Structures are given as C-alpha cells and as structure tokens.
C-alpha cells in the first residue's frame, strides 16, 4: 500500500441517514488500524470552508455504531458552490495537512466533491449515504434499509386503524424522485396500491383498482404514495379526488415525514456502512481517488464518481408486477 | 353473585386504541370463567342497530392480547343518535337475549350508552378506551400509555435529524382538547417547548424561549404541539411565524397522525385493559349497572357514567413546572 | 428555600436500569435552574471513595434522556461496607465541597446511604432506580415499566414459535425476590401460568393446570417464571420435570437475562425519573434530608430512608386472581 | 404457461422463521391471480401424512404479512423419513387432487421433498425459509434479516449494562453450523470478538485479544458466540475460562435463544418472501419442478434441489477481516 497518505478527512453531507455514524466509525477505525491520522469536518462542506474540524481516534467513535443521525452533523452549503468557497476549503485542508477526503452523502455531495477534486487536484472518495437509494453504482445506500423498516412499522400501525374503521389511508413516504422506498414498503406492508414517480398509473386506474378491491370485499385499504409521484396531485388532493369519486371510502392521509430519516440503523445498514467505509480508506491507501464505493451483488466494488453521477439507478420493474399479483 | 345474567354483549366504539383487543379478550374470558355467554357486536352502536354480532368464546380471542386495533371494529354512528336507531338496537339485543352491554370507548360512547340505558332500561358498563386520556374517573385510559411510547419513539428519531442539521422541529401530536399526550411526551422526549390547550403561553413567550435557547448554545430544538392547542394558529402557521421572527432557525413540521392510534399495546395497557374488563363483568354479575370502571391510585374503582361524563380529567399542572425546569 | 446548599453530588449504584440517565439529567438541570453546582460521581460509592468525579452542567446531559444504562456508570462497592471506605468518601466529598448527595439505586444503595448519612452527618436523598420494583414507598421504580415492555416484546416473539410448533415455553424473567415483573408480564403476555416467589403454587397444581389447558385444546403454552421463584427447582429442572410428567408437551426454556436491564426508557420511566429527581433536589434545597422520593397514587411523595428500608412493597394479590380468570 | 396444474399445496416445515407467513400469503395470492386452487397443509410433512389441510383463498391470508411464526404451523416429522409415511402423504395429495407442493423450510425440508418427489413422481418447489442463512443457491433465506435485527437490538440493550458496569458479556446467538448470524451481528453490534464455527481462533487468541482491549482502555466488551462454535467449550465454560485467566473482567453470559425465531418480519424479509414465492408458483405453472428458488445478486433465480442440498453456502471471509479492523 502507498505510504504517502498521512491524514484522511471525513465528513457527512446532505440529508442525514441512519448508518452515517457507523460509516464515520469505520473510516476512523480503519485509519487507526493502518496508522493514518483521521480528522472529521463538521456540517459537510460548510465545515471544510470554515475549518471546523476535530481529530478522531478509535475512542472518539465508541458507542456510535447504533446511533442515528451523524455526530459530524450535516448541512447543505451554498458557499461551496462558488469558486471562492472551494478555495477556502482547499486552503483549510492544506493547512491542516489533510491528504484526502471521504465524503459520505448522496448526489449533491458527490457533485461537489468531484468539482473540488478537479479544481484543487485533491483526492476524494464517495460513500453513498442516503435513505433514497437513488445512487447509481450501488444496489443499496446507507440508511435505505432502516428507512424501509421504519416505514413498514408505521404502516403496520396505520393498518390497525384502517382495519378497525374500514378506512382508506394514503401514506406518503420519502424518496425524492425515486420510488424505491414506496415500492418496497408498499409490497412489504401489503399495500393495495403503490404510486411511484417511475410509473404513472393514472388516476382512472387507481379508481378502478380501489373500486375492484371494494367489490372483492375489502373494506380497508392502504395506498403508498411516493413524495416524488408524478400523478399531478399532491397526496391531500389525491385523497380528496378519491373521496369525491368513491364516496364509499372514508379516506385519510398520513405524511410520514422526518421519522424516516432517523432511528437506530438496522444490522444491514451497520454492516453495509462498515464494509463500504473500510474499502474507501483502503482505496485511498492504494493510491486510488475520485471513486465511489458501492455494494454490487453483495460484493464491495467501486466506480468513478463520474459514472455514479451520470448513471441512473433504476427500480426493479418486476416489483411492480409482484405488487399487482399480491394485491389480488 | 347474581345469577340472573345469562348473556353479556361487548363492543368497541369511537377512535380505536391499542389495548381494545386485550379488553375484549378479558370480557370474553371473564364471561367464560363465570359461565355466562358472551356476544360481540361489530362497529360499535352501528352493529347493535344492524344486529351484526358474533358469539365469542375463550378460543375466539386467542393471540389477540398483543394486537393493535379492535377485532370487533369501531365506527361512529349517527343513527344511534336518533330514537329510532336506539329502538332498533334494543330490539336486536332483546331478540339475541343479551342482558347487558359492556361499552369500550370514550366520551361519545358513554354518552350514547347512558341515553340508551335510560331509554330502554338496559344495563351498561363503560370501559375507558382512548389514547387521549381525557376521561374523568380514571387516571389512565386504555391505549394512552402505548401512544406515549409511540410518540417518544417518533420524536427520538426526529431528534436525530434535528441534532444533525441544527433544526427546529414542530411535532404535532394527538389528544383532542386535552394536553396529556403533548405534556408527557414533551417531557419524555426532552422537548424545549410544549404547547397544550390547557395553557396558552402566547406566541411572544414561545419566541422568547426559543431565542433564549439559541443564546444558551442550543442549535436544535423540538417543540411538541397538541392538536387541540389554542394558540390560534395551526402547526404549519406556527412554524411560518417562528421562521419569520427567528430566521436563525430552519423550522420544520411533522404531524405524527394516525401512527399514534395503532401498534402493539404496552404491558401497562394490556394489564390495565385486563383489570378494567374483569371488573366490568364482575360488576354486572353483582347486579350493578350504568357505571364506568377506572383505575384510580393503582386500584380498580368505578363511578357512575353520569360522573364520568360531567367531570373533567385535568392535567397535572406540576408537569408544566417540571418541563420548564428541565428545558433549562 | 434554604440558601445554604452550594453543591449537590449525584451517583448511580447497584444494577443499572433504564431511566437512570433521565434521573441524572433531571438532577443536573434542576441544580442549574436553582443555580446550585452539581457534580457526578462515577461507579456509585466506589467513585466517592476514589474521588472520581466530574462537574455536570445542563449541557453535559444533552441527548441522554433516551439512553439506557447510566453515563455515571454503576458498581457494587465492598469497600463502602467498611468504616474506612466511608471515611475516605466523606473526606473526598468535603474536599470537593459537596453539601449533599442524591443516590439513584435500590435497597443496597439506600442502606449504604443511610449508614453514611448517620456516621458522617451528611445529607442524602434516595431516588428509587431498579427494574425490580421491590422498594417500599413508591408504586413504581425507575426502569420497571421499560423492563415490562422489554419482557412482553420478547415473549410475543417466543409466542410466535410456541404457536407454530405446539410447544410449551418456560420463560425466566428477572425480579430478585419479588414477582412484580413476572406477574405483570405474565398477564400482559397472556401466559398460561405465572410462578412467583410470593405464592408457591406447588408442582402438582402446575401439572394439573397444564393438563387442563391441553384438554381444553391448547396446544402451546407460555409459563413465566420469576428468577426468585421458590418452587424448589430452577427453570431448567422445572422444564425437565414437566416433560417427564406431561410427555405431550415439547417443553423449552428461555432465560431472558440481561436484555431486561437495558434499552431506551419508556415514556413512563422518563417522566417518572424526571419528576422524582426534580423533587429530590427541591427537598435538599428545602433543608430536608435522609428521605427517599417515590410516586404514590400518581403524586410525588417522600418517606424516610428508614421506612423505605423497613417496609415491604407487596404485589397486588388481585393480579393473581386476574391471571387465573384470563388463562381460562 | 402450462394449463395442467389445477391445485397447488403449500406447507412450512422445520424451525419457524419470520416471513414464512409472507411466503404463504404470496403463494396463495399468486395461485388466485392465475386461477389455480391452493391448499395449505398443517405442520409440514406431518399434515401431509395426516391429510390435515385447509383450502386457502386470497382472504384467508389477509393481515398475515406482518405476523411472525407460521399460520400453517411447523413440525419435524419422523414418520416422513419412512417409505410408509411418504406413501400415506402421496395418497392424501392424490385424494385431495393436489398437483404440486411448495415446501417452505430449510435443508431437512428439501431433503424430504426431494426423496418424495422421486419416489412418487410428484413435483415440488422449495422456498428457503430459515433464520440460519445456511442454504446454497440463495444469498438470503427468509427470516435471516429479521433475526439479525432482533439480535443487534438485544445486544444494544446488553451493551447498556456492559458499559455501565465494566463488564464482559458473552452473547450466544443461533445459526446451527453456520456463522452468518454471529458474524454479521458481531460487526453490526460492534462486538470486540466474534466466535464462529467456520474459523477456530483458539482460546489463546481470544485471551490475547481481550487482554489487548483492556490495555487499550476498554473496560467493557461484547463477545458474540455462534451456537455451533467449535472452540470446544460451550458459552458458559468459555466465560469461566476467561474469568480464570483474566480476572480483571466481570464476565457474564446471555443465551439469546428463541426470541431470535419470532417477531414481525423486516421489510427485506417480507419482500424477499413475496418475490421468492411468486416465482415458485410461476415455475410450477411453467412446468418446472424439483427446484429451489433463491435470490442471487438481487435477482430471483432457481437451482435444482440437488444443487441446493449438495452445495455449501460459505460465509464471506472478508467480513472476518472487517471485524478485526473495526474492533481496533
């Protein structure tokens, strides 16, 4: 392994996701294992610009693997989108003696990192951390699995009331422009319908399907709606529309909101975060740079940040078929 | 004990709450224990009017003690508010040979039950089941303790994001016109402010308090808002108002909604439901009627439905003081 | 209020219980609120002897209310049972300027505190923190409610396997010499039998009851056994005995063990810990000493440490009756 | 698709695992979708021998997707190991008009199924359901992901006490002869050491490692031990051995036991069970037989039962390396 690297920096950026602390911990401990210094920057690019950092040792990250959120905090930085902002960050890293940065976050984080790397010839490695799972180059992002469980536990609770009261519930879940969360939790929670941005079923088909359910004897139903759904109505308008057209149903709306970002990470996310982050450090020590680590087919791989940013992680269309069969 | 009762009916009415199944189970098994028949009516008063019932034996309620919702379903019935509706219900009960009814629900349920009992000289006993805890004559209603835990688990998750992003979160919780849920979960989740209907702090005091928190170095905050809060703004307007006046804060809103009604009941609620319901059956067998059972000072007591409906269950004002001390 | 107190110490001792951190936090913040200094001693009496302490401010206890265990750690101290040990502790407290101590723990903790208080004329207040609920002078101890929920969640899981395989499970739960946990979780989990130290049912009655269950068509059963049960056999011998006498049953044993002590505290425990600890500080500021705070009939009260140590907190025998009725 | 199949049977066999109900539900609903009859056999092969079955329609499986255990119950059958037993089963299936069976279970289930299929020329498809993840031909078995989460939640709780009391905990987890559960939960829970059957570290290495941890300032530790560990001592002997050799540590043992088999399935397991079972039915309808469905590289595939039984699903040795790095 290359001996040139003496100090690696790490930060978290964008929306927080469960498992980010497990990722930070693994970066720190892998550095310790290879006798490389490690420094954490607070609030993502913002802390790099402000020079707001802290040395991290194996002990700094004790008892963090099971904590939600991120001990390094996160933020979105407008200043980093400017040449001046990035120059300040580069100067701070140089002053601190940091040789490379590990960036834990999503699309926006990697875009910033890529520009920065080229502009200042500074090695970076991206670690995909977001609940949305919308990153090309990895089958799973850190936090996604935990969010799935948070959502189905919430829908299981809503199902209790739906069944008890013969109600139709529209449950809005996160996912930005991607339907991963909606599609998988819809199947997992046994939803009668799933609305995702990747597939516009149309309002008529929704009404047809609910009408068919009712005739088949179903008195309560759950419809999972992705926040990025393109059906042209928000979830409240959707519920109103259905109420008007299918007065049989007592329709209600629940927007799950920010509970989906927090909570103790699942085992899957802790192990994923650990494996990805060990790899990220080892790639840097091997002289590699400007890559994103990912889990493809259960193995830890890497691709260029370019590929990660240009590619699109598509949902598995077969899941739509599964969903239709199972809501029979 | 009186030997006159041969068949007892049971139903759940109003909003469902975790532990209603434990209550039904205890009614059924206590009937079995005393060799009295038991019959369940579906969808509350609605099922009584429709004659929609099912015989219940010890086996019918196996593996239900830990299930949320209510296996007898629930509903609000407009027809039962009419003399004709109640006459239909009375006729059905007579036809079925039901000698007395146990009504599991809240205020509305007990009001209906009381009118019915007087009009048709029909014995009823109320069992307080609602997450709102707003019933006089019992320190705890069935489902309240579970709802408290559901809420703090949700706020714990939101806290992860609040801390990671330096955000101010307004979290709206249920409770109708009572602040029990908001006050207790506010203390339990370590909220910086708690807004309840029983105490109008005023908007100025809220701004002052948040400003003081900020100066004391707090960068994130949780404000728990009761749905019945009388501050004159809904939770979204409140957040907007604070954003305008305290631009420092990145304020967000989460409305917890229906997840608060569902879920597996806590041990406290299962034991409470069991004790109250055994008592309800035994009171009927003892020739008592038109009472509500309740837990006062850890003992199972009863009061007249009249008292339960006229009295007001007040929040413990000392908890407001506790909350202020602890958000120091 | 008395102005004489300048510095209050706090420690946790004995077995840890969920909510101890909420109690520490409330002590610290109440001190801050009343402008009194606060210092924490590590590992209970052991830290007092060693002079191992840390100043605690409102910020030291941020984000601890929802954490299990105790940030001040806990231990049992043999040295504190000696006059010399206690003298060292007294000297350390004097040197540090500590005017009074708040002791969070159980029986053993209060016994040590009482001896110490008399010997060195040093004011102490006890706060009952133990999952066992075996303290006189309070209806609930901190951690007990959380342990109940941990146990029923575990038994709910075991019930899945018991039902799927027609098995009889013996589940051993904690509680030392008291049956509170076993009795309440037994009812809450719908156990067929509950064995507690306070009531020796005898082995014959257990066999009779299981035989009756089988004849009534039950193919799976849960028996909850308190660790302090006096039936003369440990839980493994018990299972063997039943297997020999009732070969119909495929009997298994699960000892829940230390998972019962940990985990995030329930809302009930967080609020209880907060209220008890605010009161403890206020009693000291009022010039009171050598008391234990407790919750009696939903109100925070206090009694002398003497009373707390001499009295016995009895189980509610009516719960045994409830359990018998419900396992019909 | 082949039109010959008119009726498909389904059963669960071997140890129950979370997600088996989601699998049954998906079999039933896929049959309904393709207008094929479906019948469930109780208690695995035992029910086939006894002719103990029930017709299953889309409605029979409502609200089961989130339930642990198996509504068809499970058992191990000695009689099915005999030619006579299998002949009885074949006769029953013929009488009932069942054309093919879907067998949900593990190794033992598939072995039985394969013999039966050859002996009676009867089509079967295996669906891998076991928490142990020890089946060749699938990266994940149904129930494994849920078990991982159950275990880390338990260890998180134990960690609270370990940290509070400076203790060393040995936690025994399930997994039969495979270390999947121990290895992944060990990493996920941040265990200091992981003992699995696939790698005998030797007792000396364990002592060395714990001694090194202590010198590095760790005062508490978790060692995860697989039930099938080959170190030559059971977990209690292991703890004794360490106590004798490292008296510094206050070592304790927790055997997690049957809680690992139960509980609500994770989203991952619900989706996995759904996908595998839809495929199983579709393979039969396509005229395929004697296969096992599995998830390889996130896609649903199939292999012959022969291959599934002869192959060995190996742990990812890289995880051992990760574990060593992270316990630095």
Write out pLDDT tens, residues A245-291: 998 888 999 999 999 999 999 999 999 999 999 999 999 999 999 99
Please list the active-site residues of C. 132
Tokens read off for D295: 């998830």
Backbone angles phi, psi at D6, to 5 degrees: -110, -30
Please give the Cα distance from B135 to B175 (Å, whole number): 12
In this structure, are strands D221-226 and D193-195 parallel, antiparallel, or unpaired? parallel
Burial of A299 (0-12, 13-18, 19+ CB in 10 A): exposed
Of D16, D161, D253, the CB nearest to C262: D161
Contact D157 C74 (CB under 8 A): no
Which helix H or strand E contains D151, and what residues bound it? helix D144-165
pLDDT at A1 over 60: no
Question: Which residues, including other chains, have CB under 8 Å from residue D113's CB and lie 6 or more apart?
Answer: D101, D103, D124, D126, D305
Contact B75 A258 (CB under 8 A): no
Architecture of domain B7-143+265-310: 3-Layer(aba) Sandwich (3.40)
Contact A160 B259 (CB under 8 A): no
Counting as contact any 3 or more CB pairs under 8 A, the partners of C are B, D
Q: Using CA of residue D50, residue D56, residue D62, residue D67, what is the dihedral sign? A: positive
Contact B68 A252 (CB under 8 A): no
| Segments making up each domain of chain B, as ranges | 7-143+265-310, 144-261
| Contact in structure between A174 and A256 (CB atoms under 8 Å) | yes
Please give the Cα distance from B306 to B136 (Å, whole number): 10
Which helix H or strand E contains C53, and what residues bound it? strand C53-55
Please give the Cα distance from D114 to D108 (Å, whole number): 10
Residue of A nearest to D27 (CA): A326
Residue of D nearest to A217 (CA): D59
pLDDT of amino acid B1: 43
Contact D319 A275 (CB under 8 A): yes
Interface check for D261 against chain C (CB to CB < 8 A): the answer is: yes
Strand intervals (E) in B115-209: 124-128, 167-173, 193-195
Which of the following is catalytic: D37, D99, D107, D132? D132
Torsion of CA A173, A179, A181, A183, to 10 degrees: 100
Burial of D112 (0-12, 13-18, 19+ CB in 10 A): buried
Chain C residues with beta carbon closer than 8 angstroms to that of D169: 258
Which of the following is catalytic: A37, A107, A132, A269? A132
Please give the Cα distance from C164 to C186 (Å, whole number): 20
Chain C residues with beta carbon closer than 8 angstroms to that of D259: 154, 157-158, 254, 256
Mean pLDDT along residues A13-42: 97
Q: Which CATH superfamily is domain B144-261 in?
A: Phosphofructokinase domain (3.40.50.460)
C177-225 pLDDT tens trace:
899 999 999 999 999 999 999 987 788 889 998 998 888 888 789 999 9
Please give the Cα distance from A129 to A125 (Å, whole number): 13
Interface check for A78 against chain B (CB to CB < 8 A): the answer is: no
Query: Over its length of 328 residues, how does chain B's per-residue pLDDT go in tens digits?
Result: 445 899 999 999 999 999 999 999 999 999 999 999 999 999 999 999 999 999 999 999 999 999 999 999 999 899 999 999 999 999 999 999 999 999 999 999 999 999 999 999 999 999 999 999 999 999 999 999 999 999 999 999 999 999 999 899 999 999 988 999 999 999 999 999 999 999 877 888 899 989 988 888 888 899 999 998 767 788 999 999 999 999 888 899 999 999 999 999 999 999 999 999 999 999 999 999 999 999 999 999 999 999 999 999 999 989 999 999 998 7
Residue of C nearest to D12 (CA): C164
| Contact in structure between A222 and A213 (CB atoms under 8 Å) | no
Residue of D nearest to C46 (CA): D165
pLDDT of amino acid D274: 98
Burial of C245 (0-12, 13-18, 19+ CB in 10 A): middle
State the count of interchain CB pairs (< 8 A) between A and D.
131
Mean pLDDT along residues A43-47: 98
The low-confidence residues of chain C, meaning pLDDT below 70, are 1-3, 230
A161-212 pLDDT tens trace:
999 998 999 999 999 889 999 999 999 999 999 999 998 778 888 999 899 8
Please give the Cα distance from B170 to B220 (Å, whole number): 11
Which residues 118-147 of chain C have a CB within 8 Å of chain B?
A: 139, 145
Please give the Cα distance from A225 to A236 (Å, whole number): 11
Chain C residues with beta carbon closer than 8 angstroms to that of B298: 139, 297, 316
Contact C267 B149 (CB under 8 A): yes
> Min CA distance, D16 vs chain C (Å)?
6
pLDDT at A27 over 80: yes
Please give the Cα distance from C246 to C73 (Å, whole number): 46
What value, to the nearest 5°, has the Cα angle with vertex C46 and ends C41 and C51? 55
Please give the Cα distance from C174 to C177 (Å, whole number): 9
How many other C-beta atoms are found inside a 10 Å radius of the C-beta of residue B217? 9
Please give the Cα distance from B250 to B162 (Å, whole number): 10
Which of B12, B18, B129, B165 is the best mutation test for A, with the most CBs of A within 10 A?
B165
Q: Using CA of residue A108, residue A110, residue A115, residue A116, what is the dihedral sign? A: positive
Which residues 10-39 of chain A have a CB within 8 Å of chain D?
A: 25-26, 29-30, 32-33
Strand partners, C100: C8
Tokens read off for B92: 């059905």
Interface check for B44 against chain A (CB to CB < 8 A): the answer is: no
SS3 A137: coil
Interface check for A297 against chain D (CB to CB < 8 A): the answer is: yes
Strand intervals (E) in chain D: 7-12, 37-41, 53-55, 100-105, 124-128, 167-173, 193-195, 221-226, 250-255, 291-296, 299-304
Contact B74 A156 (CB under 8 A): no
Contact D166 C68 (CB under 8 A): no
Torsion of CA A81, A83, A89, A94, to 10 degrees: 150
**What's the Cα-to-Cα distance from C204 to each of A120, B309, C190, C240, C323, rounded to whole Å?**
82, 49, 21, 14, 18
pLDDT of amino acid D279: 98
Please give the Cα distance from C83 to C118 (Å, whole number): 12
Residues in chain A: 328
Of D70, D150, D158, the CB nearest to C164: D70
Please give the Cα distance from B31 to B81 (Å, whole number): 29
Please give the Cα distance from D292 to D308 (Å, whole number): 7
CATH number, span C146-261: 3.40.50.460
Contact D161 C75 (CB under 8 A): no
Chain C residues with beta carbon closer than 8 angstroms to that of B278: 322, 325-326
pLDDT of amino acid B3: 53
Please give the Cα distance from A44 to A52 (Å, whole number): 10
Tokens read off for A59: 């002990």
Which residues 211-240 of chain A have a CB within 8 Å of chain D?
A: 216-217
SS3 D286: coil
Residue of A nearest to B257 (CA): A254
Please give the Cα distance from C316 to D3 (Å, whole number): 65
Tokens read off for B214: 């900020």
Contact A326 D278 (CB under 8 A): yes
Strand order in the sheet with D299-304: D53-55, D37-41, D7-12, D100-105, D124-128, D291-296, D299-304
Please give the Cα distance from B20 to B13 (Å, whole number): 10
Tokens read off for C269: 């425990």
The low-confidence residues of chain D, meaning pLDDT below 70, are 1-3, 230
* The CATH classification of domain D145-261, taken from the options 3.40.50.460, 3.90.320.10, 3.40.640.10, 3.90.1570.10: 3.40.50.460
| Contact in structure between D43 and C250 (CB atoms under 8 Å) | no
Strand order in the sheet with D221-226: D193-195, D221-226, D167-173, D250-255
Counting as contact any 3 or more CB pairs under 8 A, the partners of D are A, C
pLDDT of amino acid C3: 53
**Nearest in space to D58 (alpha carbons), one of A233, A217, C292:** A217
Please give the Cα distance from C324 to D73 (Å, whole number): 27
Which of the following is catalytic: B132, B134, B229, B269? B132
Chain C residues with beta carbon closer than 8 angstroms to that of D156: 262-263
Residue A2 — very low, low, confident or very high, per pLDDT cuts 50/70/90?
Answer: very low
Of C150, C161, C257, the CB nearest to D254: C257
Domains A7-143+265-310 and A145-261 share a fold: yes
Please give the Cα distance from B107 to C27 (Å, whole number): 39
How many other C-beta atoms are found inside a 10 Å radius of the C-beta of residue D210? 22
Interface check for A257 against chain B (CB to CB < 8 A): the answer is: yes
Strand partners, B53: B41
Which residues 160-189 of chain A have a CB within 8 Å of chain D?
A: 163, 184-185, 187-189
Tokens read off for B195: 């807004």
| Annotation says A132 is catalytic | yes
> Min CA distance, D23 vs chain A (Å)?
11
Q: Using CA of residue D260, residue D266, residue D270, residue D276, what is the dihedral sign? A: negative
């Amino acid at each position: 392994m290359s001996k040139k690297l003496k100090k690696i920096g790490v930060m978290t950026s964008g929306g927080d996701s469960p498992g980010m602390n497990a990722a930070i911990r693994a970066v720190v401990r892998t550095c310790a294992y290879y006798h490389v210094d490690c420094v954490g920057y607070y609030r993502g690019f913002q802390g790099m610009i402000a020079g707001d950092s802290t040395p991290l040792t194996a002990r700094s990250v004790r008892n963090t693997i099971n904590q939600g959120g991120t001990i390094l905090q996160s933020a979105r930085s407008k200043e980093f989108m400017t040449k001046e902002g990035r120059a300040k960050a580069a100067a701070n890293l140089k002053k601190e003696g940091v040789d490379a940065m590990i960036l834990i976050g999503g699309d926006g984080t990697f875009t910033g990192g890529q520009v920065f790397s080229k502009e200042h010839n500074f090695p970076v490695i991206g670690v995909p951390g977001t609940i949305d799972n919308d990153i090309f180059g990895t089958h799973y992002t850190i936090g996604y699995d935990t969010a799935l469980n948070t959502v189905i536990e919430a829908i299981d609770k809503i199902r209790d009331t739906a069944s008890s009261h013969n109600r139709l519930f529209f449950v809005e879940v996160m996912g930005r422009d991607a339907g991963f969360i909606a599609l998988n939790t819809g199947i997992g929670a046994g939803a009668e319908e799933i609305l995702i941005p990747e597939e516009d079923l149309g309002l008529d088909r929704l009404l047809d399907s609910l009408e068919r359910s009712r005739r088949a004897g179903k008195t309560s139903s759950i419809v999972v709606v992705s926040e990025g759904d393109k059906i042209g109505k928000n979830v409240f308008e959707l519920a109103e529309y259905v109420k008007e057209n299918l007065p049989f149903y007592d329709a209600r709306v629940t927007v799950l909101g920010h509970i989906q970002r927090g909570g103790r990470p699942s085992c899957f996310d802790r192990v994923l975060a650990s494996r990805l982050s060990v790899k990220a450090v080892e790639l840097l020590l091997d002289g590699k740079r400007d890559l994103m680590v990912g889990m493809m087919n259960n193995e830890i791989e890497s691709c260029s940040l370019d590929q990660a940013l240009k590619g699109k992680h598509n949902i598995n269309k077969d899941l739509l078929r599964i969903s239709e069969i199972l809501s029979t």
